[in-house]
Amino acid sequence: MTSGRPVRVAVVHNSLSPTGGAERVCVAVIEALKERGYHVTLATVEPTDWEKVRRAWGDVVRPDEEVRLLPFQVNALAIYMRLASSALIPRLRGRYDIIINTHGDMLVFDADITYMHFPIIAVWEDSYSKYARGFWRLYFAPYYSIQKSRMRRRSKTLLLTNSRFSAAFILRTLGRRALVVYPPVDLRFTPGEVEASRREDMVVSIGRFTLEKRHEVVVEIASRLPEYEFHIAGSTPTRASVEYYNRIRGMVEERGLRNVHLHPNIPQRRLEELLLKAKVYLHAMPNEHFGIAVVEGMNAGLVPVVYKSGGPWFDIVERGRYGLGYSSVEEAVEKIRYAIRNYERLHRLAYRRSLAFSKERFKERIVRIVDGYAEYLARRGLLRAG
């Protein structure tokens, strides 16, 4: 890091309101840079509800200051409000030395560093995405066109991403290489807690009640394994997600599945209790960009059984090295039985692997990258802020 006055960094993120994986990255970047001694400003489209952030993740390190484009919250047209954050970047130039975009889209105006969770235009090609069909395809079409035209401009932003899987898509769709920086995961459990827990023949699956999470596949798998208990936990943040939850509940009731238990909006403490009782973490979403919930399950001592695609398969379990994979319901049934029979051996391997994705490792990498960028600017006399 350069000597003299603190280097001023602006972190641009559309909104922290979703409190999802992208927002967790944003908050961790702020924490890492503040601890390093940078002056950090958070730039958003709408005001930040810090109480909601605290409820999601506990006490977090706040930025030195905040700037926002709008004085009110926006509850509609979410992907288009991401583009609105682009209007913040010209306002920040000259006031800040480094601008970091953590919500990840390619914006009309470039940040210096962009953490791209996944090239958003690639979801158009993903048959599992909600944007690939019906109303959502029409809704997404203008955004796709804007992003497609943006690709024609040569961007100078330094690209970071969350997995080798996402990096491959970025190279294919944008023709750009991205540096992989695994997202921060709150690793809550010690080896002692994991080993002391009394386990049952139980399977846990975690994910928002939304179509792309494919909880109906978990229900189908559970119907073929009546000897095991299945628990599906997730939030219902929108009306559509409530409708999807009701659909899954209807499936369970229609089939009379007494071994399937749904937990909408479960408190964190109760979720941790479930994780410390189960033996298997089942992940049903194909093409997941990374899969924080998979790592959280492994950290609790569960053996991961994941769909053979995306970050969970290629990055987290490394094609079967640290967990099991499946590509059909029949194969998932087989792998879950294998995981439970071999739990004692497999869970220790999974737990050790989870430690590679700690928040501390993420922060160390982010600091090295931003330090290097600041030194590069200083050597060339390009630090902008006065």
Q: Give the per-residue pLDDT at 80.
A: 67
Residues 386, 376: Cα–Cα separation, whole Å: 18
What is the overall mean pLDDT for the chain? Answer: 89
- Examine the pLDDT at 34 and tell me if it is beyond 90: yes
3-class DSSP assignment, residue 24? helix
Confidence tier at 247 by pLDDT (50, 70, 90): very high
What's the gap between Cα 348 and its chain centre?
A: 24
Q: 191-356: CATH homologous superfamily?
A: Glycogen Phosphorylase B; (3.40.50.2000)
DSSP assigned state of 121:
G
Are the C-beta atoms of 354 and 191 separated by less than 8 Å?
no
Write out pLDDT tens, residues 104-151. Answer: 776 667 899 999 987 766 665 555 555 565 666 776 677 777 666 666
User: Where are the chain's structural domains?
Assistant: 8-184+358-379, 191-356
* Range from 45-59, 122-136, 365-379 that averages highest in pLDDT: 365-379
Contact indicator for 160, 178 with CB cutoff of 8 Å: yes
| Residue of 225, 235, 177 whose CA lies nearest to 201 | 225
pLDDT in tens, 298-318: 999 999 999 999 999 999 999
Q: Which CATH superfamily is domain 8-184+358-379 in?
A: Glycogen Phosphorylase B; (3.40.50.2000)
CA 363 – CA 366 distance, rounded (Å): 5
pLDDT higher than 60, residue 46: yes
Q: What is the pLDDT of residue 110?
A: 83
Q: What strands, in cross-sheet order, belong to the sheet with 39-44?
A: 65-68, 39-44, 8-12, 98-101, 113-116, 158-161, 179-180
Residue 3 has pLDDT above 60, yes or no: no
pLDDT at 83 over 80: no
Q: Give the residue from 84, 64, 63 showing the smallest Cα distance to 15.
A: 84
Compute the average pLDDT of residues 338-356: 97
Helix (H, G, I), strand (E, B) or coil at 385: coil
